[in-house]
Amino acid sequence: MSIIAQKNPDIKVNVVDMNADKISAWNSKDLNNLPVYEPGLSKVVNDARGRNLFFSTDVNKHIYESDMIFISVNTPTKVSGKGKGYAADLKYVEACAKQIAEISKNDKIIVEKSTVPVRTSEKIKEILKLNNTKVNFQILSNPEFLAEGTAMRDLEIPDRVLIGGDDTPEGKKAIESLYNIYSSWVPEENILTTNLWSSELSKLTANAFLAQRISSINSLSELCEVTGADIEEVSKAIGMDSRIGNSFLKTSVGFGGSCFQKDILNLVYIARSEGLYKVADYWEQIIVINAHQRDRFSKKITSLIKNKSLNKNVCIFGWAFKKNTNDTRESAAIYVSDYLIRSNINLNVYDPKVKRSQIYFDLNYINKNDAKNKRCVLVYDRHIDCLEIEKTNIIAILTEWDEFKEYDWGKIYDKMSKPAYVFDGRNVLEKEELESIGFNYIGLGRWI
């Protein structure tokens, strides 16, 4: 919304949330206190805030006054009831629709920005109609394709903007209104208009395809390890085929983030609900391989400790689900660490951006064992301190932070118990360089 405000100074954008702490952080004078860490965001907020961009907790006032409302609330995977563990929980979207219907007195365009299952707009329409028969609401689907860490660039120069709407005169008029907002900075050929269902399904499909590429390359990393092929070479070779392309072919300890798993589970649920069991099973395999990649990485560490009688102590470098963000949702680091804790291994953790409290929160969330987590896990502000407290033979790299490449690995080696091992869950370090220092280097998809 900040970019929309920045690019359209004549449009007043009000961002509303019931959470007063969040809104006060968005209004904070110190731009370092914005609730989201995203390179470039503070500049955009600074350009527009107070001019035509406002943050407020007065939800009803702004519903009443606005002509267009974007619903951008969470749609997490359901944890109970029908569809538990798969379907998207639409309770926040539904609550927004009800509130909008109750407050509105003039015609409005409602834009689904949250990622939702296909045909959610039908449900929104029903709720609006049920609670307000006087106002004409037009529903649009306008999914978000930005990735964390590059969000500002993705918004500034989007590959495409997708707008789905009804194929009626009113629907077309609504599409045009949103089209005009984006066309103030996005080339017209990059703004795609579709029907509502295509737009909703395209969002889930885009994330499923991206995740599928990662699981495909990760599954092959295991094959490389037993055949002598090198996954980095395979990835480069196939990526040079212009039909395949080279993005999202980087092997890893497993994809994380708030979207891939949730959206695939959602896709699987929809397919299964429609009786398309083979389709559902096909997409579900992406999640199966992702969990397998995390587990086999963890198991390699526990087996090594057992077979070589090493210190039951591992340093974890990186907790965020990818570099340049402090977001940890579904991060592979959480699952690998939980596996190691369950194997009674102590962890010393360092991440350049993630706070100590978040790390304990993430672990407690999945294993509900606060006491054991506190006992087994220590979190440090500097990577080098992780190695001073207790002697360790193993470092596991779980996020691809650039700073890991800059470290003085000779100094790190000196501090460690020998033999010293690096398990590189992102293939970010140079094998030869580490081996010349004395490390045993275990990357992904490489001959061991």
User: In the complex, which residues of this chain contact ligand UGA (CB under 6 A)?
Assistant: 115, 144-148, 207, 210, 214, 248-250, 252, 255-257, 259-260, 321-322
What CA–CA distance (Å, rounded) separates 20 from 188? 38
Q: What is the helix (H) or strand (E) element at residue 378, kind and residue range?
A: strand 377-380
**Long-range contacts (CB closer than 8 Å, 24 or more residues apart) made by 40-48:** 40/151, 40/152, 40/153, 41/2, 41/151, 41/152, 44/2, 44/3, 44/6, 44/152, 45/2, 47/6, 48/2, 48/5, 48/6, 48/9, 48/13
Sheet holding 161-165, edge to edge: 68-71, 108-112, 137-141, 161-165, 191-195
Nearest to ligand UGA of 104, 261 (CB atom)? 261
Q: How many CB atoms lie within 10 A of CB 445?
A: 21
What CA–CA distance (Å, rounded) separates 242 from 254? 25
Please give the structure tokens belonging to residue 321: 């689900």
What CA–CA distance (Å, rounded) separates 378 from 310? 19
Task: Tell me how far, at minimum, the Cβ of 143 lies from ligand UGA, in Å.
Answer: 8
Q: Which of 259, 315, 376, 386 is catalytic?
A: 259
Nearest to ligand UGA of 174, 259 (CB atom)? 259
Three-state DSSP state, 175? helix
Three-state DSSP state, 335? helix
Nearest to ligand UGA of 251, 393 (CB atom)? 251
What CA–CA distance (Å, rounded) separates 316 from 446? 21
Nearest to ligand UGA of 40, 438 (CB atom)? 40
Q: Which of 112, 144, 330, 400 is catalytic?
A: 144
β-bridge pairing 346-350 and 313-317: parallel
Nearest to ligand UGA of 56, 258 (CB atom)? 258
Nearest to ligand UGA of 88, 210 (CB atom)? 210
Task: Tell me how far, at minimum, the Cβ of 344 lies from ligand UGA, in Å.
Answer: 27
What CA–CA distance (Å, rounded) separates 350 from 398? 10
Q: Which of 78, 203, 312, 323 is catalytic?
A: 203
Nearest to ligand UGA of 321, 401 (CB atom)? 321
What CA–CA distance (Å, rounded) separates 321 from 341? 19
Task: Tell me how far, at minimum, the Cβ of 214 lies from ligand UGA, in Å.
Answer: 5
β-bridge pairing 53-56 and 161-165: unpaired
Task: Tell me how far, at minimum, the Cβ of 76 lies from ligand UGA, in Å.
Answer: 13
Please name every residue paired with 377 in a beta bridge, in sequence order, or none if there are none: 347
Task: Tell me how far, at minimum, the Cβ of 338 lies from ligand UGA, in Å.
Answer: 17
Task: Tell me how far, at minimum, the Cβ of 180 lies from ligand UGA, in Å.
Answer: 23
Task: Tell me how far, at minimum, the Cβ of 203 lies from ligand UGA, in Å.
Answer: 7
What CA–CA distance (Å, rounded) separates 47 from 337? 41
**Is 203 noted as a catalytic residue in this protein?**
yes
Catalytic center residues:
144, 203, 259
